Amino acid sequence: MQKNKFKTAGMTPENKKWKIAISRAEKLYGRLNEVRDEFARDYTRILHSTAYRRLKHKTQVFSATRNDHICTRIEHVNHVASVSHTIAAFLGLNTELASAIATGHDLGHPPFGHSGEHILAAIAQSDLTKKFWHEKNGLYSVDCIETLKDPMGYEKNLNLCYAVRDGIISHCGEVDENAIFPRCEALELERIESPGLYQPYTWEGCVVKISDKISYLGRDIEDALTLNILTKTQLKELSAILKSALGKKAEVRELNNTVLMHDFIMDLCRSSSPEKGIRFSERYLELINRVKEFNYKNIYFHKRLANYIKYAELIINSIFNALKDFYAGANSIAELDKNAVLLPLTVKSFKEWILKYSNADTACRKENKYCNKILYDLSVKKDYLRAALDYIACMTDHFAINIFNELISF
């Protein structure tokens, strides 16, 4: 199997896209003894962000399970980073860029996984007349929400490179077409208004996009087996899918994440080229699509998840409506303070959010060295509602449940 097929196409200083790929909205501070390149710096900036830390308590598929070995969003992200690095290294692409995109690709996921995403999308549409989806929210998070302290202690936005930001908003793993090629034009990423419209700007972004799917299908099957979600009949169906697609004898026990990921990675490395794109062979494309179809039918829409989806909807809508009721224009902080005794956690955490991201208290911003973007003007109701939505979108499952429990407790 030929290595380094993409060596001349990867994101290096010789690539004609290089200047745009490493460009930032603002110049990032430098150090005299810096050993990392721009993409490696972005990787560590993502790794140090609070959004990355919160992924450990965000749903992948199964919410609030008591089993410590069920996949959470942070494990999924690390699987994608591992798969992306392996593929990028073999093909001769920029592994630092692939790792940065992969590690940051799901920072925009709200609590309760895709169910939470759909619930917030409905709120955004009805109350803000805006679209919400996790890839777009991921870009918004790294551009506007997440902050790090600079060497002087000032809180500033992550300010990531264009290629990393592009990979985050373009990563949608629901890819049914074979052969992905990077787009040529450098879009204004903030103007993208629907998921899946554009392929990534770099080959590395294309690798992450497919690695996302490679990483979750087998892992979700493992979790379903652990939680006894799948019946014997369904396991026979799964075995038949494998045998039919690959044309070889296979047992269900071989359908674990390690085996599936390895086989998909090897096939993709073997089948991809700059001329043919990042792709699977026809039989592995058939297999991945059939496994995906099986997962949707038997796992993602399983009846045991239905009640939890209703629970997530109750939690998110209750929190949003409670915060909505506190709106009092420029006096919203004072209105929140009136409820501090009854709702100490809710008031404290949401008030801190508003103070950091709004123009409500410039003295507070100065005292806390907040030099991040101002997102909200409390005199504008839609800004306040956007603050509430953003606040909820950044929550972990656990924190959202804690806030909900406080709202319903007396």
- Whether the pTM exceeds 0.85: the reply is yes
Domain identity same for 201 and 82: yes
Residues 37 and 150 placed together within one structural domain of the fold: yes
Range of the domain at 326: 303-407
Same domain, 320 and 195: no
Each residue's pLDDT tens digit, 152-202: 999 999 999 999 999 999 998 555 567 899 999 999 999 999 988 899 999
Backbone angles phi, psi at 376, to 5 degrees: -130, 140
pLDDT 10s digits, 4-55: 999 999 999 999 999 999 999 999 988 878 888 999 999 999 999 999 999 9
d(CA 147, CA 22): 19
Q: Is residue 361 domain-shared with residue 219, that is, in the same domain?
A: no
Segment 283-297, tens digit of pLDDT: 889 888 999 999 999
For residue 88, the surrounding DSSP H or E stretch is helix 73-91
pLDDT (mean) for 356-385: 96
Q: What is the DSSP letter of 330?
A: B
Q: Exposed, middle or buried: residue 11 (CB in 10 Å: 0-12, 13-18, 19+)?
A: buried
Domain total for the chain?
Answer: 2
Note the Cα 153 to chain centre separation in Å. Answer: 27
CATH number at residue 89: 1.10.3210.10
pLDDT in tens, 140-154: 999 999 999 999 999
Are 160 and 42 a contacting pair, CB within 8 Å?
yes
Residue 211 lies in a domain: yes
Show Cβ contacts of residue 324 under 8 Å, excluding neighbours closer than 6 positions.
127, 385, 388
Buried b / exposed e over 373-407, threshold 16 CB at 10 Å, is eebbebeeeebbbbbbbbbbbbbbbebbbebbebb
Average pLDDT over the chain reads 92
Let me know if residue 233 belongs to a domain: no
CA–CA separation, 223 and 225 (whole Å): 5
- Give yes or no: residues 58 and 174 share one domain: yes
pLDDT digits (tens, 9 = 90+) for 44-75: 999 999 999 999 999 998 876 678 888 999 99
pLDDT tens per residue, range 311-364: 999 999 999 999 999 999 999 999 999 999 999 999 999 999 999 999 999 999
Q: Please check whether residue 138 lies inside any domain of the structure.
A: no
Q: Kindly list the distances between the CA atom of residue 56 and the CA atoms of 51, 52, 63, 169, 236, in Å, as whole numbers in the listed order.
A: 10, 8, 12, 21, 33
pLDDT at residue 1, rounded to an integer:
83
- Burial profile 270-297: b = 16 or more Cβ within 10 angstroms, e = fewer: ebbeeeebbbbeeebbbbbbbbbebbee
| Domain termination site, one of 228, 250, 276 | 228
In a domain, 9, yes or no: no
